[in-house]
């Protein structure tokens, strides 16, 4: 055999798996047809989050007068798209080079080209046949291509958006997931007339209803229309008809629900019917025990950190650590303003299990650090089962919720209780103190409420 392991795709699932494989002594190659880091690093997670942070800085400057900073003329404030994109590109380039360095450092061979799975133990790339003991498919997913009758050039993908010379003034964002919500929020923060188009009536599947309601209220407050629709078509250039209503639109940005990207293969895999994800067992194995599918391509969780965790898990299984993967403690983040995060079970999931539970909350408006920062919108919400007080779900709305959720994930991973949370000493003043307060609130003894 040429290799112990060949990995197809170099996104967060693929490159993390490759680094770990190199660390444990597996002779490994990673095949990438485009750019190291995949969709997440080059066109998705990183560049979009950089742009969101740029937009948040604009909002902060607009509110600077409340902090005693005079001399800012809000009428002269503008969002410089080219500068923002240049900053994003610099960060992406730095991270991409870092990933490439780590792959080489750990002895991983990088092969450029499109891979084809020839057999259970062989992969072809650029007319080169490679033999391997194991294969990991980590080719990710992409937004589903919309099939609407609209003028040519109206619908653009996220990578096309990042390449625009100037931003549209009246963008429409198409989708029902976190990425669509983030993009809509970004456009609003930089003063664009944006609307979110949601096909059907499914909105943010997997998110706790409490957070869904919060987002709808937040969008209403920010004057971002959420339009649930069944029919969309073009009328003339710049005008779309949504369920019979004419709407002005410079661009329709595709942030639709994602479909698996499956590499060419001469062997067949069992696929999930609706979106074509590769079906895997709890060891992330496909129909073939030596071929694994990790990350977005298996449809279990379309999250970069979930993909990385699966990549690590697959390498562990290959290395002889035969344990089933548990996806219950995977945080879900939304980089809006303020941010939103959740981990563990949602309230409907807990109800479906018949658990007797309690919800305890604590608002940021009663937290000293949040008041000092002027970021008092939000709360922490802990769901615990009543018998032992075990924490089974947490939701956070806060400026840095996506960082704060890590503490909640640790508690759930360790099967911690609200008593553990309450008795964990948090530094003062910090926003993280709201965890302690919500812990005490679970047995009706909050300190500052």
- Residues annotated as catalytic are 428
φ and ψ at residue 33, rounded to 5 degrees: -90, -15
State how far the Cα of 245 lies from the Cα of 164, in Å rounded to an integer: 28
Cβ proximity of 347 and 210 under 8 Å: yes
φ and ψ at residue 176, rounded to 5 degrees: -125, 10
Rg of the chain taking only CA atoms, in angstroms = 23
């Amino acid at each position: 055999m040429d290799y112990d392991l060949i990995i197809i795709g170099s996104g967060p699932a693929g490159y993390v798996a490759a680094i770990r494989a190199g660390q444990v002594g597996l002779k490994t190659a990673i095949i990438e047809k485009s750019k190291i880091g995949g969709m997440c690093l080059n066109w998705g997670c990183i560049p979009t989050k950089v742009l969101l942070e740029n937009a948040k800085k604009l909002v902060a400057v607009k509110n600077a007068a409340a902090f005693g900073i005079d001399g800012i003329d809000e009428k002269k404030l503008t969002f410089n798209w080219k500068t923002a994109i240049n900053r994003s590109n610099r960060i992406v380039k730095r991270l991409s080079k870092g990933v490439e360095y780590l792959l080489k450092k750990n002895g991983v061979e990088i092969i450029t080209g499109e891979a084809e799975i020839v057999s259970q133990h062989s992969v072809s790339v650029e007319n080169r046949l490679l033999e391997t003991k194991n294969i990991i498919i980590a080719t990710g997913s992409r937004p589903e291509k919309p099939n609407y009758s609209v003028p040519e050039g109206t619908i653009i993908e996220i990578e096309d958006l990042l390449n625009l010379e100037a931003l549209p003034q009246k963008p429409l964002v198409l989708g029902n997931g976190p990425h669509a919500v983030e993009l809509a929020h970004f456009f609003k923060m930089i003063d664009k007339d944006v609307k979110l188009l949601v096909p059907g009536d499914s909105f943010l599947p997997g998110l706790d209803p409490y957070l869904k309601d919060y987002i709808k209220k937040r969008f209403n407050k920010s004057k971002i229309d959420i339009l649930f629709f069944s029919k969309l078509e073009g009328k003339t250039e710049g005008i779309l008809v949504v369920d019979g209503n004419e709407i002005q639109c410079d661009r329709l940005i595709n942030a639709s629900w994602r479909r698996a990207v499956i590499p060419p293969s001469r062997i067949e895999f069992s696929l999930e019917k609706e979106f074509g994800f590769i079906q895997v067992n709890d060891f992330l194995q496909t129909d073939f025990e030596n071929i694994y599918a990790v990350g977005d391509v298996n449809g279990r969780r379309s999250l970069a950190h979930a993909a990385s965790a699966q990549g690590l898990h697959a390498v562990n299984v290959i290395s002889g650590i035969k344990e089933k993967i548990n996806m219950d403690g995977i945080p879900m983040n939304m980089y809006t303003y303020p941010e939103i995060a959740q981990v563990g079970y949602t309230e409907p999931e807990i109800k479906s299990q018949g658990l007797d539970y309690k919800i305890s909350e604590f608002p940021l408006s009663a937290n000293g650090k949040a008041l000092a920062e002027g970021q008092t919108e939000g709360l922490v919400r802990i769901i615990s089962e009543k018998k032992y007080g075990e924490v089974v779900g947490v939701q956070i709305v806060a400026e840095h919720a996506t960082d704060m959720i890590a503490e909640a994930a640790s508690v759930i991973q360790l099967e911690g209780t609200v008593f553990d949370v309450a008795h964990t000493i948090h530094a003062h003043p910090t926003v993280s103190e709201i965890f302690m307060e919500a812990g005490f609130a679970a047995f009706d003894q909050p300190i500052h409420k």
